[in-house]
Amino acid sequence: MMTPTGGEGAEKMDAEDGVNCSDYEHDIENEESGGYWSGIYDRNMAHTMPLLMKRANTTSQIAIVGANPCPIESLDYEIFDNEILKNDWRSKKKVQIIHYVMLKWGFALLIGLGTGLVGFFNSFAVENIAGFKLLMTTGLMSKHRYLDAFLAYAGANMCLAAAAAALCAFIAPAAAGSGIPEVKAYLNGVDAQNILAPSTLFVKIFGSILGVSAGFVVGKEGPMVHTGACIASLLGQGGSHKYHLTCTWLRYFKNDRDRRDMITCGAAAGVAAAFRAPVGGVLFALEEAASWWRSALLWRTFFTTAVVAIVLRVAIQFCATGKCGLFGEGGLIMYDVSSANITYSASGIFAVLLLGAIAGILGSIYNYLVDKVVRTYSIINGKGAFSKISLVVTIALLTSCCYYFLPWIAKCIRCPSNSTVICPSVDESGDYKSFQCPPGYYNDLASLFLNTNDDAIRNLFSPRIIKEFHITSLFIYFATIYCLGIITYGIAIPSGLFIPVILAGAAYGRLFGRLFETITELDRGLFALLGAASFLGGTMRMTVSLCVILLELTNDLLLLPLVMLVLLVSKSVADSFNKGVYDQILKIKGLPYLEAHAEPYMRNLVTRDVVSGPLITFSGIEKVANILQALNTTGHNGFPVIDEPPFSDSPELCGLVLRSHLLVLLKEKIFSRDRGFANQRIFQRISTLDFGKAGSGKGIKLEDLDIQEEEMDMYVDLHPITNASPYTVVETMSLAKAAILFRQHGLRHMCVVPKSQGRPPVVGILTRHDFMPEHVLGLHPDIMPHKWK
């Protein structure tokens, strides 16, 4: 065996490598503030510029200049085709296979039920908590106790914000932020620490409720994707050992592949529960979340979101009876623009194109500023829990001041005589807020600021009201939401981006419609919807899923052509400046995400250009001492197995064996004194269930092994646990082509084989980190990546 200098070495960085995760706890505490870093970014640098990775000489860790490595695992999505697995499938009866398939559909049903109930609970809690706060504020203002109203409003917001921040700081730091980048990374093959833990699910639910109720410019819709993924993960691994929440009959899918499929269903269910958009949820999972897809998964995802839709419909009917407090039928998002007058004209199409182009520019600026803010907040949040909570409370106070004092700028407007609703409004929400105005008048800015986010969007989308909002008020509201949305994202609370972007986009669209009302006959509420669509396209860079979500939100297919047009324009314009906001967050956190397309400069490289060696390999029948030495001195997750004479005519690649499988074999002591093939009794002593993936931190570790001195010279037959058909590429294959194959097949290891005979049967192993730009450019600094863009 040879000591490695790289190859597989960059793949696995965990406790087995001697990395003490507690030493870096402050680096991974705040998930949405650049907390994971993963050794690619140095948070001590003012601008946290990416650093080039260098391979360590004697260990498997990545040596990073000025940064500490953080444990980020890759996931084994590939089916490990070994003799034990084949034997298990051959022995299965038809009824067992049917049971396996039915369990998959049963899990889809449970995920839909759980996510739907959580979505309803979130909306129910937010409407009641925020509604009570707004009723208290309105009641004090009606008595002309304006200072008391502000103190009550700001005090309630700050208390709610502090509670949300405390949950994130002390219980589950990974719950901060929207969670969509982490779910994307997981479905791409990256297992970041604690992102799907039960504690993360708990804080995600209650922290999101508290944060949205506190009046922040955040939404509960983005975190619902993370919530659905957490529910799916919890079901998939049969509960949690740590919290004593286990069900033996649920622990059936003990592999990354099946869990990935369930988490994909959970992500789709989260969108369906957030927006009442079941088809949009499926398309969101397909377009944005999942890196790998197949037809069977499409059907289960569709079934899951259908279950969510049924749960929400039952909840709406129940609450329509008035048994849900301040939560009514409007509590779950649905914007009615069905009465909008849609007439096409050349001037109208021009206005829509201009709307999308400007929104693309504004969206790219929004992403740029969010990137800077998140990097800045990561430094503050890295100083401890008190700093996190202080930052959250400060932003809550700033938001409360803006929401309460800015409406004083607006003039009181006389209530319209033909209004179909009460003016001024007397409940916690409504189209016409009285604020400080005399009877018969309303304050248009207060109607936007002193409302829940959902009600503010309804007011902006409303087709009933032509000139409810003055142009100046719309501009003030747009500028405020745009800026507050930027400075709020990145604080230590669960916070989604959908609602802030929709709010800013709706205000921008309505303002745009007022400015262009002389040249187009399109409804002002319709312009608000198109503005929201254009902002979503300009920031998130999604098209199909956003289009369907907005159509399901508004319940009007006549809007389809204009929504498609404005999304395409805004995304195209914004893509010329920077990447989508979720892609930027992935990069800030240092999560090694593989893009769907390879970097252009990879076309001029071949696979052997990025392989580092020499590489550790095992013989088909290996000595116990050699295996232990390799496991002790490296953190490699996979090892090539090579058969040599007399077991083969010449050295040949037998396959690939995983570290976790080796540990199982060593723990069960499947040894022999003679260097020969194992007999069939091994299949009686060990089964596929023994190789199932355990929950976080529950797998077999080296220190769990009890190998005696006399057993060190014994032999282990690795053939039964070796993947005899690993994915291989020739060393002269284009690196760009290899990167695309690696992502499309959801691989963790890719063996590089020589082009000519007479050489060792395997040149090296490519893993996720070998395709990262930091690694490639570190090995080839002469490449100028900007010339290839």
Rg of the Cα atoms in the chain: 28
Residue 5 DSSP class: S
Range(s) of the chain covered by CATH 3.10.580.10? 18-70+600-779
Q: Is the pLDDT of residue 365 over 90?
A: yes
Range(s) of the chain covered by CATH 1.10.3080.10? 98-319, 346-369+399-574
pLDDT digit string, tens, across residues 704-738:
888 888 889 899 989 888 998 899 999 999 999 99
Give residue 210's pLDDT: 95
Q: Are strands 638-643 and 652-658 parallel, antiparallel or unpaired?
A: antiparallel
Task: Out of 156-160, 257-261, 333-337, pick the least confident.
Answer: 333-337
Q: Which positions ≥6 away from 66 have C-beta within 8 Å?
A: 42, 44, 45, 51
Average pLDDT value for residue range 264-271: 96
Which conformational region is residue 440 in: left (phi greater than 0), alpha (psi within -120 to 50 degrees), or beta? left
pLDDT digit string, tens, across residues 458-485:
888 876 555 578 889 999 999 999 999 9
Nearest alpha-carbon partner for 659 in 61, 115, 206, 76: 76
Q: Where are the beta strands (DSSP E) in 117-260?
A: 190-191, 239-240, 245-246
| Greatest mean pLDDT range, 265-279, 316-330, 445-459 | 265-279
Q: Is the pLDDT of residue 327 over 80?
A: no
Q: Is the pLDDT of residue 580 over 50?
A: yes
Neighbour count for residue 663 (Cβ, 10 Å): 20
Give me the architecture of the 346-369+399-574 domain, per CATH.
Answer: Orthogonal Bundle (1.10)
Beta bridge partners of 239: 246
Which conformational region is residue 384 in: left (phi greater than 0), alpha (psi within -120 to 50 degrees), or beta? left
Beta bridge partners of 723: 656
| Greatest mean pLDDT range, 303-312, 314-323, 627-636, 774-783 | 303-312
Give residue 634's pLDDT: 86
Q: Which positions ≥6 away from 389 have C-beta within 8 Å?
A: 162, 165, 166, 169, 492
Instruction: Given CATH 3.40.50.300, say whether it is the number of domain 98-319.
Output: no
Which CATH number does 18-70+600-779 carry?
Answer: 3.10.580.10
| Greatest mean pLDDT range, 309-318, 467-476, 777-786 | 309-318
Burial class of residue 776 (count of CB atoms within 10 Å of its CB; 0-12, 13-18, 19+): buried
Mean pLDDT of the chain: 82
Q: Is the pLDDT of residue 68 over 70?
A: no
Average pLDDT value for residue range 346-360: 92
pLDDT digit string, tens, across residues 393-413:
999 999 999 999 999 998 888
Average pLDDT value for residue range 215-223: 89
